[in-house]
Amino acid sequence: MDIRDLLRDNLGRAVARNRSGAILLSGGVDTSILALLAKPEMAFTVALKGFHAPDLTYAEKVSALLKIEHKVRKFSVEEALNALPEVVHILRTFDLALPNDLSIYFALRMAAENDVPSVITGDGSDELFAGYSYMANLSSRGLKSYQRELSENWHFSSSGLGKALGVEVKQPFLDGEFVRFALEISPELKVRNGTGKYILRKSFENLLPAELVWRRKDPIEYGSGSTELHKIIAAMVSDEEFQRAKEETGISFINKEHLFYYRIYRKAVGEIPLAGADARKCPCCGAETGKYHCPTCGLSLPHRYA
């Protein structure tokens, strides 16, 4: 059987094991494929009000094509700032990726408000199929080793946010059997001419419009427009405050936005849980880190694969 047939079959069975009547729909290749396979009754898309949000355009096309009821929520900058303490409290982090998490939070909250018990997300596709640009620069051997190790250490904020909001998050790409299948696919089929998720796209290119299948990878925060929050929040901290905070706390804040989130963290969570003597210590905040990422401050750590 052709690898494309195998991929469609395995992903279809993963979707069947992770059924839901709703989906968080970005209109990217991952959620478009899941919407095609799952045939949900309802889709949720969010965007930051007043800013460019390409996800809305693509998600509307997917929902119209597949005849899915599409619910859209546009949240304001004020609503985003007001929601930050709750999101920080749930995730216990002051990671610079919080605008990304805010988009997921508002989408899951919309699901809860519509009495939807569960939703499907596209979590795991980028990790398994080399959707991130830095993965395209790894050798085939390095990519295979990195993805295998990554699959043993990954964490997705949607799980914690969904639990806190009473919405079960279904993640077909993270289904155990599917993960094992995907890890065995040749890296050469995952990245082709610098394009990640190549084999995933090829497997569905005759079942969905080309503009969806070959849409470039955009982070959730960009697709929802919430990337604009980075500039807005950074402007709320002065240079003097930033310098003084670094000296007083001993924390190597990445930028002013990072300090803003830290202040919320201190109020919503409390003290940073410092690493023990035998633990791997984050060079930024002093907390215990994972292999590739500090869960407390969000610092990305270098990996050894090339």
Residue pointed to by tokens 């295998």: 148
What is the predicted pLDDT for the residue at 305? 66
Joined tokens for residue 269: 């969570």
**Residue 234 identity:** A
Distance between CA atoms of residues 78 and 71, nearest Å: 21
CA distance 123 to 161: 13
Can you give the pLDDT at residue 54? Answer: 87
Q: What is the pLDDT of residue 304?
A: 67
Residue 291: predicted pLDDT:
83
Amino acid at the residue 178: F
- pLDDT digits 0-9 by tens, 51-69: 888 899 999 999 999 999 9
Query: Which CATH number applies to 3-75+98-223: 3.40.50.300, 1.10.3470.10, 3.40.50.620, 3.90.1200.10?
Result: 3.40.50.620
Mean pLDDT per 10-residue run, the chain (306 residues)? 95 98 96 98 95 91 97 96 98 96 97 98 97 90 93 93 98 98 97 94 96 84 80 96 95 96 98 90 93 92 70
* pLDDT at residue 194, rounded to an integer: 87
pLDDT at 10: 98
Could you tell me if 293 and 156 are in contact, meaning their C-beta atoms sit under 8 angstroms apart?
no
Structure tokens at 119: 């939703």
Domain ranges, ordered by start, for the chain: 3-75+98-223
Q: How far is CA 288 from CA 146, 150, 158, 273, in A?
A: 21, 18, 22, 8
Which H, E and C letters describe the chain, residue by residue?
CCHHHHHHHHHHHHHHHCCCCEEECCCCHHHHHHHHHHCCCEEEEEEECCCCCHHHHHHHHHHHHHCCEEEEEEECHHHHHHHHHHHHHHHCCCCCCHHHHHHHHHHHHHHHHCCCCEEECCCCHHHHHCCCHHHHHCCHHHHHHHHHHHCCCCCCHHHHHHHHHCCEEECHHHCHHHHHHHHCCCHHHHCECCECCHHHHHHHCCCCCHHHHCCCCCCHHHHCCCCHHHHHHHCCCCHHHHHHHHHHHCCCCCCHHHHHHHHHHHHHCCCCCECCCCCCECCCCCEECCCCECCCCCCECCCCCC
